[in-house]
Amino acid sequence: MDEEKAMSEETAEIKVEGEEVTFPKELVEEEEEQAPVEKHKSIYQLILTMGISAKVQLALKGNKEARSILVKDPNKLVCSAVMKSPKLNDAEALTYAKSRNVSDEVLRLISMNKTWMRSHEILVALVNNPRTPVGISMQLMQKLNDKEMADLAKAKGIPGAISAAARRTLMAKAHKLEKKGQKH
């Protein structure tokens, strides 16, 4: 009896698509304070031993720490599930948009979310991330202001096509202003 009670205090049962899955509570419940490094390693080790379906379920129902580990998973199903998690907030989306360790699929999903794209900070992070697909960066680049465009033109860590497009845009604006000045 005491053994069952101890097990229920340490685990959390979650029903997903009619299937009951049991995860340790530290993977499901949100914590206010920072977890110690030892605890982080054990969570990482737990996740490494999971199968793909368990990782997908944990990505949808897990806490922030579990999501931050799973978003870097090489399997696109797992990292896509993290981005579809109802617990995911804007601050986490910004962190993932800035991260160079996430897959291009995660960055693509962030760019397709209208709520997140209202945040100028997330938009700038996506454009400045070298892992963001070039087509998406080109579209988002049009929404940057002149200073951000100038910074982008000088940036070294981004694809050459993006910085070249930023330089062309700046030169076109300068040429347009020059023409305006000559007319008056």
Q: Express each pLDDT in 22-59 by its tens digit.
A: 777 666 776 655 555 555 568 888 888 889 999 999 99
Q: Are residues 76 and 113 in the same domain?
A: no
Q: Which of 87, 116, 132 is the last residue of a domain?
A: 87
Q: What percent of the chain has pLDDT over 70?
A: 78
Residue type, 55: K
Q: Are residues 83 and 113 in the same domain?
A: no
Highest-confidence segment of 8-22, 110-124, 169-183: 110-124
How many domains are contained in the chain?
2
Q: Express each pLDDT in 72-123 by its tens digit.
A: 999 999 999 999 999 999 999 999 999 999 999 999 999 999 999 999 999 9
Q: Identify the pLDDT of residue 67.
A: 93
Domain enclosing residue 77, as ranges:
1-87
Q: Are residues 127 and 44 in the same domain?
A: no
152-175 average pLDDT score: 89
Q: Which of 87, 120, 148 is the last residue of a domain?
A: 87
